[in-house]
A and B are shown apart, each in its own frame.
Chain A
Amino acid sequence: MAQADGVPLPDAAPSCVSKLVLLGSGSVGKSSLVLRYVKGDFKSVLPTVGCAFFTKVVAVGNVALKLEIWDTAGQEKYHSVCHLYFRGAQVAMLVYDVTRKESFLRAQQWLEDLEKELQPGEIVVALVGNKTDLEEKRQEGKEFAESRGLLFMETSARLNHQVSEIFSAVAQELLQRDMARLGSSPLGNSGAMRLNQAPTRRTKCCSH
């Protein structure tokens, strides 16, 4: 509503906090990705004590959105307890390593877990193929994302390629959903609407 009027929301914006969970196998570059995004560096300086919890304010148009990024342990053995992280999350970022097939399969497993735990449309899911600097881009990730209605992007945390783009795409999607909810909350098929929206968003962010 506010965006339609073109009026920025100075007060309400910072109070709106969105929780983003980073999921993915060990050493696919979850931490590097978020480090690159939040601090704008790739393990060159050691900024804080811990690199597991971050907050970042994202500007989408004239609205500021506060993202809270929760990193999770990627080791296989912790997979069974990680559903605890999902509670109250608005965004899930499934990260995989484009050079490792099994990490991609793990990402698909995460998606299934998410769907088991949460209602469809309750959460924005983005599939992120990291480490593109090591290998040529692959097609399978994109196809999979399209078939499941996910946001998709291939990134390189080392080269800082598409890193901030994926986060702002996620923020944009979040905002759009909020708008849809506020604007057309009586609609029963809001879930379907969101699924329809995802592809349009994706084409836009991939064209960057």
Chain B
Amino acid sequence: MSLKSERRGIHVDQSELLCKKGCGYYGNPAWQGFCSKCWREEYHKARQKQIQEDWELAERLQREEEEAFASSQSSQGAQSLTFSKFEEKKTNEKTRKVTTVKKFFSASSRVGSKKEIQEAKAPSPSINRQTSIETDRVSKEFIEFLKTFHKTGQEIYKQTKMFLETMHYKRELSIEEQSECTQDFYQSVAERMQTRGKVPPEKVEKIMDQIEKYIMTRLYKYVFCPETTDDEKKDLAIQKRIRALHWVTPQMLCVPVNEEIPEVSDMVVKAITDIIEMDSKRVPRDKLACITRCSQHIFNAIKITKNEPASADDFLPTLIYIVLKGNPPRLQSNIQYITRFCNPSRLMTGEDGYYFTNLCCAVAFIEKLDAQSLNLSQEDFDGYMSGQTSPRKQEPESWAPDACLGVKQMYKNLDLLSQLNERQERIMNEAKKLEKDLIDWTDGVAKEVQDIVEKYPLEIKPTAQPLAAIDSENVENDKLPPPLQPQVYAG
């Protein structure tokens, strides 16, 4: 027996090592005897099934609930008095149940995967642990994309997986080190593709874009605005700064854009939307694309206004104006993130890189902005910054045309409000006066009465005779005729 077990320990049958699916690759007990690829497929299938089942369960529960509700409603219809209370309870119960069902479903992918892990007792690769729907979609697309490159694609996939694995363990490192790792990875993959895979340069670029998309959707959560840096503080600082500069007009920046033209103000709005949208993207390249779109809208706006294509002399001030007007969220974090994790070739060269550099310039300018750069005197600038004076109050006709309808309405309303305020104050004053008058009047009356009372004190003279002598002393009685005597008439 010992011999047998020993043999067993050394010798393993070839068939046991191979993937259970028979694809020819070696399997791994950790993946239930499948090879990595088949395991992923199996795992994915099981998960899809789980999701499907969850969905069905959720639907069934809801349906049953609704049916129960409908039947209870018809049977309880007669007893309307008690019913209303019952209905309330019922709907409460129902909404609660539905939300829990919904919650259950929305989290099902995660719950499902966790359950999966527990049941199978085979941990999936650590990087798969936390996946969202978007991440899943991106990985699927990435794999599909790499399939077109056959062997090179497989190689790339392996490398990216390995990179993600190593990044997982480097999470504790400083963000600069993580950024360096990523940049090194970009470089080594691109080089490998060119030298080993003999991939033509334009394809390398495409593949690099896909790789960036794949890894950055996964890493975003950990490397965007990390706690170890002061990115957030900088975000807040620039946001506060832009808010403090709300009074800057296009005229001060010499922006060659006339927002009175509807198409131009349209473009301005679009540009602002794009720059704000940047924050919602995960992949650095998508963020860059937002900046580029924003820039193109700016160029359009200038072109419509000036009727000639814009040069950089026009573009930068307009971009600054757009940033001031839009106050994009987490601006510094986004810039830092792009600088750290974007493929460097995209940042140094190319149109995207150009616009990104312009955005950096705009932000740097806003940080340094002073009275001189707006052609203002220091007192004016300080006054505007502290909010004591506003450039709009002094020259109302300069803001009126470029202010949008809502703002105009707001100013009108403000005017009205101040008028009302004035009137109310007047009313209050008058009311107070009236109150005072009334008090004075009552006081006066009281005083007068007092005076008179004092002057003519009321003296009640005691009555001379006692009350009992009233009848006896009545002298008037003599003048009264004698009482009537009853007389009898013979009829």
A50 B309 Cβ-Cβ under 8 A: yes
The 0/1 profile, CB within 8 Å of A marked 1, for residues 311-324 of chain B is 11101110000000
Asked if A142 is an interface residue, CB under 8 A from chain B, the answer is no
A88 is contacted by which of B254, B348, B351 (Cβ under 8 Å)?
Answer: B348
Which of chain A's residues have a CB closer than 8 A to the CB of B310? Answer: 49-52
Expressed in whole angstroms, the Cα–Cα distance for A82 and B360 within the complex equals 10
B373 A77 Cβ-Cβ under 8 A: yes
Asked if A30 is an interface residue, CB under 8 A from chain B, the answer is yes
Min C-beta distance of B218 to chain A, whole Å: 28
A87 B313 Cβ-Cβ under 8 A: no
Expressed in whole angstroms, the Cα–Cα distance for A84 and B368 within the complex equals 14
Expressed in whole angstroms, the Cα–Cα distance for A80 and B315 within the complex equals 17
Min C-beta distance of B271 to chain A, whole Å: 13
Expressed in whole angstroms, the Cα–Cα distance for A99 and B338 within the complex equals 42
The 0/1 profile, CB within 8 Å of A marked 1, for residues 54-87 of chain B is 0000000000000000000000000000000000
The 0/1 profile, CB within 8 Å of A marked 1, for residues 273-300 of chain B is 0000000000000000000000110011
- Given A11-B201, A49-B303, A84-B357, answer yes or no on A27-B348 (Cβ-Cβ < 8 Å): no
Asked if A19 is an interface residue, CB under 8 A from chain B, the answer is yes
- Given A77-B372, A78-B365, answer yes or no on A31-B357 (Cβ-Cβ < 8 Å): no
B299 A50 Cβ-Cβ under 8 A: yes
- Given A50-B296, A70-B354, A81-B361, answer yes or no on A75-B313 (Cβ-Cβ < 8 Å): yes
Expressed in whole angstroms, the Cα–Cα distance for A78 and B361 within the complex equals 8
- Given A15-B201, A19-B348, A73-B317, answer yes or no on A31-B361 (Cβ-Cβ < 8 Å): no
Q: Which of B367-394 contact A (CB under 8 A)?
A: 368, 372-373
A26 B300 Cβ-Cβ under 8 A: no
A52 B354 Cβ-Cβ under 8 A: yes
Expressed in whole angstroms, the Cα–Cα distance for A125 and B237 within the complex equals 37
Asked if A148 is an interface residue, CB under 8 A from chain B, the answer is no
Asked if A103 is an interface residue, CB under 8 A from chain B, the answer is no
A31 B349 Cβ-Cβ under 8 A: no
Min C-beta distance of B337 to chain A, whole Å: 17
Min C-beta distance of A97 to chain B, whole Å: 14
Asked if B262 is an interface residue, CB under 8 A from chain A, the answer is no
Asked if A144 is an interface residue, CB under 8 A from chain B, the answer is no
B312 is contacted by which of A46, A48, A72, A87 (Cβ under 8 Å)?
Answer: A72
Which of chain B's residues have a CB closer than 8 A to the CB of A68? Answer: 349-350, 354
Expressed in whole angstroms, the Cα–Cα distance for A49 and B301 within the complex equals 9
Which of chain B's residues have a CB closer than 8 A to the CB of A53? Answer: 351, 354-355
B316 A78 Cβ-Cβ under 8 A: yes
Minimum CB distance partner of B361 in chain A: A81
Where the two chains meet, the residues of A that have a C-beta atom closer than 8 Å to any C-beta of B are: 11, 14-15, 17, 19, 22, 26-27, 30-31, 43, 46-53, 68, 70-75, 77-78, 80-82, 84-85, 87-88
A sample of 12 cross-chain residue pairs with beta-carbon separation below 8 angstroms, ordered by A number, consists of: A22-B312, A26-B313, A30-B312, A46-B309, A50-B296, A51-B309, A52-B315, A73-B313, A73-B316, A73-B361, A77-B373, A84-B364
